[in-house]
Amino acid sequence: MIIRKVTDPEFSRFGKVVEGYDFGPLLAKLVEVSEKPADHTIYVASDPELEKEPVYAELRDRAYGGMPIQIGYCNGNNYLLNCLEYHRDSEINIAADDAVLILGRQEDIQDGKYDTANVEAFLVPKGCAVEVYATSLHYAPCTVDGTDGFRVIVVLPRGTNTEKPDFVPACEEDRWMTARNKWLLAHPEAPEAADGAYVGLVGVNTDIRK
């Protein structure tokens, strides 16, 4: 598939490059405190060491307008789409290594289904930060060919991706929620589907190596 850059105009439908922050110390801390698995990915919603960095307050007050936030990470190796998720707010990703984001648009979900033929891929170069809009479907980053994997900072409102609230589903979208502030559509081949996630992706399970 075509892999564009986040600096290309096509990315503007999904997000924007974040500027005006010094992410150097935060990324250095990420490398210090986190591992990079060779054959899978790990996700940590909130890491206390990362949240001690001075840029935490800047992101909270400027990027999120004073709302409580969390800083975590997604590290490892991955080449498959597997799922698409969305939140009720933007997500900021900061790349410590080159990584690829596979993205879609929430408006393209029709009758609880999303055709994976609609996804687009974008390279986030090392050191770059991007805001992924709330209406953009996304999931774990993907490995850039020829590299040993990725480390990516993930900034979200505090509590996101933690324990799912307890309620009785009252509409179709309620069935897609898998965690707090997380609605997810899984591909039938994805491990998440085997674990009971709602199967909402149709078409091929996109592999960026092809």
- Any alpha helices (H) in the chain, and if so which ranges? 24-33, 55-58, 191-194
Domain 3-202 is classified in which CATH homologous superfamily? Jelly Rolls (2.60.120.10)
pTM value > 0.75: yes
Q: What is the chain's pLDDT, residue by residue, as a tens digit (210 residues)?
A: 899 999 999 999 999 999 999 999 999 999 999 999 999 999 999 999 999 999 999 999 999 999 999 999 999 999 999 999 999 999 999 999 999 999 999 999 999 999 999 999 999 999 999 999 999 999 999 999 999 999 999 999 999 999 999 999 999 999 999 999 999 999 999 999 999 999 999 999 999 998
∠ CA 87-126-92, rounded to 5°: 20
Sign of CA dihedral 39, 41, 108, 189: positive
